[in-house]
């Protein structure tokens, strides 16, 4: 699985890209019929990040490899018989249920948007409502919080079992909390439960070493500055390993990509991202519309 190195400059460039996310089932024809009898069936995706590794590592039919076409969109010509196309359609239907994210990780997905179709004017999704119930919001955690967290963990397990490309993961690391003294870190609660169900090794290899402001309230251009120096990696735990990095919320992706950068710098072979919920916005909470 391809994993390029990550730098602060690449993260800063990442947030300027468009589109930043796409769920195939919403508005994309990934399987393209031949233009003429001389052509082959083809696969086409909205961006190369995530989709290149997804296609190369889990496509159920032979193809000639990912190429980059007009507008930077990746495509691949299939080398399969007509009767194999149903397997492709089933595969596309599976991956099309989840929100593919465009960032610097080897793979990056969210289970769902916070609101239906990523539209802030629409009702909450089931995942969005579950995450809201799982968060104590500064209070002590309750049985209801843990019950909702367990449901989110079950949804993560279902995702991992349906996405064969994620079998490369050897361990699961939760995103560290904003404070080392925080008593309830939802990503850690979910990740620990996922580890129990899947056999992945659970480790808090990314640790917060000093308090920082919560990034959801920080302007996009200051997020890396706020993160800098607040997180340390247990090098011995991750060296040479493919890490599944789990977070409950993906907004701009800066925090997840920053931790992935540290993991790679510490010797991890690749970082696969999984977020429970993708916000409707891609930047910050300080104004503007959905993108």
Last residue of a domain, one of 32, 65, 95: 95
Assess whether pLDDT exceeds 60 at residue 291: no
Q: What is the pLDDT of residue 218?
A: 81
**Contact by Cβ (8 Å): 91, 65:** no
For residue 54, being part of any structural domain is answered with yes
Q: What is the pLDDT of residue 83?
A: 86
Assess whether pLDDT exceeds 90 at residue 201: yes
Whether this model's pTM surpasses 0.75: yes
- Side-chain half-sphere exposure of 222, counting CA atoms within 13 A: 12
Q: What is the pLDDT of residue 288?
A: 33
13 lies in the same domain as 150: yes
Q: What is the pLDDT of residue 87?
A: 94
pLDDT in tens, 250-266: 999 999 999 999 999 99
Which tokens sit at 225?
A: 């500055």
77 lies in the same domain as 182: no
165 lies in the same domain as 190: yes
For residue 222, being part of any structural domain is answered with yes
CATH of the domain at 15: 3.40.50.2020
Q: What is the pLDDT of residue 74?
A: 95
pLDDT band for position 284 (cuts 50, 70, 90): very low
Assess whether pLDDT exceeds 70 at residue 290: no
201: β partners: 171
85 lies in the same domain as 126: no
pLDDT in tens, 8-40: 999 999 999 999 999 999 999 999 999 888 889
Last residue of a domain, one of 50, 78, 95: 95
223 lies in the same domain as 272: yes
For residue 289, being part of any structural domain is answered with no
For residue 291, being part of any structural domain is answered with no
pLDDT band for position 287 (cuts 50, 70, 90): very low
127 lies in the same domain as 175: yes
109 lies in the same domain as 249: yes
Q: For the chain, what is the mean pLDDT?
A: 93
For residue 134, being part of any structural domain is answered with yes
For residue 38, being part of any structural domain is answered with yes
User: DSSP for the chain?
Assistant: -------HHHHHHHTT-S--EE-HHHH---EE--SSTTSPPEEE-S-STTHHHHHHHH-SS-B---EE-GGG-EEEEB---GGGHHHHHHHHHHHTTSEEE-SSSSEEEEEEESBGGG-TTSPBPHHHHHHHHH--TTSPP-HHHHHHHHHHHHHHHHHHHH-GGGGG--EEEEPPPSSTT-S--HHHHHHHHHHHHH-PEE---EEE-S----GGGS-GGGHHHHHTTSEEE-HHHHTT-EEEEEEEEESSSHHHHHHHHHHHHTT-SEEEEEEEEE-S-SS-SSS----
Which tokens sit at 92?
A: 């596309």
Q: What is the pLDDT of residue 39?
A: 87
13 lies in the same domain as 32: no
Q: Please name which of 227, 256, 255, 266 lies closest in space to residue 105, comparing C-alpha atoms.
A: 256
Last residue of a domain, one of 64, 95, 126: 95
Give percent of the chain above pLDDT 90: 84
133 lies in the same domain as 82: no
What is the average per-residue pLDDT within 178-205? Answer: 96
pLDDT in tens, 124-174: 999 999 999 999 987 889 999 999 999 999 999 999 999 999 999 999 999
Q: Domain containing 256: what range?
A: 8-19+99-278
Give the count of domains, the chain: 2
């Amino acid at each position: 699985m391809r994993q390029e190195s990550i730098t602060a400059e690449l993260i800063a460039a990442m947030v300027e890209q468009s589109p930043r996310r796409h769920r195939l089932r919403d508005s994309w024809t990934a399987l393209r019929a031949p233009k003429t009898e001389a052509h082959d069936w083809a696969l086409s995706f909205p961006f190369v990040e995530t989709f290149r590794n997804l296609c190369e590592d889990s496509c159920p039919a032979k193809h000639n490899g990912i190429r980059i076409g007009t507008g930077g969109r990746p495509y691949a010509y299939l080398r399969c018989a007509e009767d194999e196309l149903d397997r492709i359609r089933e595969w596309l239907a599976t991956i099309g249920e989840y929100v593919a994210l465009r960032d610097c990780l080897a793979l990056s997905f969210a289970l769902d948007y916070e609101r239906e179709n990523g539209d802030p004017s629409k009702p909450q999704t089931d995942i969005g409502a579950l995450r809201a119930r799982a968060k104590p919001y500064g209070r002590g955690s309750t049985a209801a919080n843990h019950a909702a967290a367990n449901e989110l963990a079950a949804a993560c397990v279902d995702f991992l079992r349906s996405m064969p490309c994620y079998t490369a993961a050897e361990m699961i690391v939760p995103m560290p909390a904003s404070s080392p003294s925080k008593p309830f870190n939802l990503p850690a609660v979910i990740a620990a439960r996922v580890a129990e169900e899947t056999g992945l090794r659970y480790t808090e290899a990314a640790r917060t070493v000093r308090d920082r402001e919560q990034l959801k309230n920080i302007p996009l251009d200051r997020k890396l500055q706020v993160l800098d120096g607040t997180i340390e990696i247990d090098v011995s735990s991750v060296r040479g390993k493919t890490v599944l990095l789990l977070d409950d919320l993906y907004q701009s992706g800066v925090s997840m990509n920053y931790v992935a950068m540290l993991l790679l710098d510490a010797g991890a072979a690749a970082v696969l991202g999984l977020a429970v919920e993708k916000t409707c916005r891609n930047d910050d909470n300080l104004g503007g519309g959905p993108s």
